[in-house]
Chain A
């Protein structure tokens, strides 16, 4: 007895790639529905998400800017960065020994890729959801931290002390910080979740 082919349309496969238009539109509708849940949860968890991201950002700032130590805390619904310049900069620029530069940053601008990614992943009905969500979230938080670090570094570089800018980066580093700030707010949180979602499809 001859076997009959399955009644699937030519080219159709499991998952999003090659899915029928109806399934793609349903995926979009599910993403919007899941986005209500994930964005709500993300906003409710703004403090821990921001503090984790900011802690990583603080380490990036310490490694790349003339900052001796960076402390982060939650203040006025934003992350407060307390930056103590490194001793060599304090000595060279003859700055007060107890100088601290405080900056408040809204890190939600960099972390909204997290709920977007989770909504996409849930809407795609991905297998091994927990593992994929954890890996994707880790990537997105690191990228968000780089964006936050660049935003803080740009502000730190523009800080004026007695009419001078003792922490201003060189032109190349300054351009990199500006690029990181742009990528961190415009590209990483919106494009990377989509890339991860598509990559998980393969």
Chain B
């Protein structure tokens, strides 16, 4: 547990610091955020064909409402925490890779739901938007990462039984 805690903390701090650097922002965070905005727009178009995207901003030409996806809203933080938890836990690399792929997908799917829901909640009520954006969805995304990690732990191969002693 101590090894896991130390490794988890080191990986989280290193990756958070790394993603704040200008080069990581330019090469990873900004393109990722823009991709998230485009996928969210594609999903939102299923409900409203007039929804458009400009960079990392979704907007409705009909109502004039727009949301810009910033750092903290692109799901990268939850993915970093999940990555750290999976890598820090002793497991075969094949299972780690599968956990990372499945976990990233789960976090990003829920993040798309978050963005699309916030886009419509904001057009309905700015007060509810603030509540959902600042407090509720932040917690739900991290709950998602926790559930994925717990399920991944359960799917790990069991330790081989200890050899019988005479």
Contact = CB atoms under 8 A, between A and B. Distances in A.
Interface of A: 10-11, 16-21, 24-25, 27-28, 31-32, 35, 39, 108-109, 112-113, 116, 120, 182, 185-187, 189-191, 193-194, 197-199, 202
Contacts of A17: 150, 153
A189 B138 contact: yes
A108 B134 contact: yes
A190 B150 contact: no
Nearest to A178: B20
A18 B154 contact: yes
Nearest to B16: A187
Contacts of A185: 72
22 contacts: A10-B158, A11-B158, A17-B153, A19-B150, A24-B151, A25-B147, A31-B143, A35-B136, A39-B135, A108-B134, A109-B134, A112-B134, A112-B135, A112-B139, A120-B146, A185-B72, A186-B72, A186-B77, A189-B138, A190-B77, A190-B141, A199-B5
B69 interface: no
Contacts, number: 73
A149 B118 CA distance: 29
B77 A194 contact: no
Nearest to B156: A11
B1 interface: yes
A35 B153 CA distance: 24
B1 A194 contact: no
Given A31-B143, A194-B145, 12 more contacts: A11-B158, A18-B153, A21-B154, A27-B150, A28-B143, A35-B136, A109-B134, A112-B134, A182-B20, A186-B138, A191-B81, A194-B143
Nearest to B144: A28
Contacts of B7: none
A21 B151 contact: yes
Interface in B98-137: 134-136
A187 B71 CA distance: 12
Contacts of B145: 194
B166 to A, nearest CB: 19
The interface size bin for chain B is: 20 to 34
Contact of B139 (A24, A25, A187, A190): A190
A187 B154 contact: no
Contacts of A197: 146
B142 interface: yes
A112 B138 CA distance: 9
B10 to A, nearest CB: 14
B142 A19 contact: no
B150 A194 contact: no
Contacts of A18: 153-154
Contacts of A108: 134-135
Contacts of B5: 199
A20 to B, nearest CB: 7
Interface in B74-89: 77-78, 81
A190 B138 contact: yes
A17 B4 CA distance: 14
Contacts of B72: 182, 185-186
Nearest to A16: B150
A35 B132 CA distance: 13
A120 B147 CA distance: 11
